[in-house]
Amino acid sequence: MPNLFLDLILGYGVGLTLGLLGGGGSILTVPALVYLVGQSPQAAITTSLAIVGINSLLGAYFHHRNGALKWRVALFFGGSGMLFSYLSAGLSKDFPPFLLMTSFAVLMLVVGILMIVRHPSTNDDPSKPHRLWPILTSGAGIGLLTGVLGVGGGFLIVPALVMFVGMPMYQAIGTSLIIISANSIAGLLGHMGGVPVDLLMTFIFVLAGLVGTFSGARLAYHLPAQRLRFIFACFIITLACFMLFDNLGDMF
């Protein structure tokens, strides 16, 4: 029963973050599965891809109902990401666990800092056309990280869509979720046949995450996004520092 309660709480938190901020699911899920649930990093990466992929798909549907999803951008960005995510999925098997977790922590640290120091523009025209080349190259880079580290990429996709593609923040969040789902599913297919996945625990995470995603998508239109970005950035920076301290000792 305590494990069930923990899984429900963690799953709800992952879904809430995805629905509210358009990302952050894997940044929370992988460390939670490793440090709180007790999975190996390889198993946590595979499980994370399943959980985040399903929850992101539902979140994209909620945001689509509010008109905050650009399907053309999602198609090309996500298609490029899926290809590179699938091709790079097997690479994680060749790295020791401490290196995977250290890389994950460094990524979290960089993203957290960028969330604080970089602010999305409020002057973007939601109707302007978007160039194809930045969409494809940005998607390929995010897909590579998804396959290797199990990162759905939300906190990388949203800044990429805003800074490189030129989308307004509210559209970037909704579009990010459908891209995360596509990348995560592609990465999961690449990991199939590797480390076994706890199907019951995954189902519990997904079920609780669906409730959290619905709650987060509704809250996204009522709470100040900048304050939430700053609070969450501070949280993932703290978590990244803990993971670095915990894993760098294994290198010496």
Distance of CA 112 to the CA centre of its chain: 13
- Tens-place pLDDT, residues 191-235: 776 677 788 888 989 899 899 988 887 887 777 767 767 777 787
Output the pLDDT for position 123: 47
pLDDT at 22: 77
Tell me what pLDDT residue 172 has: 80
Integer Cα distance of 73 and 68 in angstroms: 12
Structure tokens at 206: 């997904």
Q: pLDDT digit string (tens) for 112-152?
A: 888 788 765 544 455 566 678 889 998 888 878 777 776 65
Looking up tokens 């053309």 gives 72
Query: Worst-scoring range by mean pLDDT, 94-98, 104-108, 112-116?
Result: 94-98
Cα distance between residue 67 and residue 228, in whole Å: 22
The string of pLDDT tens digits covering residues 40-95 is: 888 888 888 888 888 888 888 887 877 777 888 889 998 888 888 778 877 767 77
Q: How far apart are CA 107 and CA 40, in angstroms?
A: 19
Do residues 143 and 84 lie in contact, with contact meaning Cβ atoms separated by under 8 Å? yes
Amino acid 12: pLDDT: 92
The pTM (predicted TM-score) of the whole model is 0.73
The two tokens of residue 114 are 């960028």
Helix (H, G, I), strand (E, B) or coil at 59: helix
Sign of the torsion formed by the C-alpha atoms of 18, 23, 25 and 27: negative
CB atoms within 10 A of CB 128: 9
- The domain ranges of the chain are 2-251
Please list, residue by residue across 190-199, b when 16 or more beta carbons sit within 10 angstroms of its beta carbon and e when fewer do: bbeeebebee
Instruction: Using the predicted structure, report yes or no on whether residue 251 has a pLDDT greater than 70.
Output: no
Q: What are the structure tokens assigned to 151, written together?
A: 């990162």
Pick the residue with more confidence: 64 or 33?
A: 33
Token couple for 131 = 């160039």
Tokens of 121: 């523009």
With a cut of 50, say whether residue 1 has pLDDT above it: no
Nearest to 20 by CA among 246, 242, 235: 235
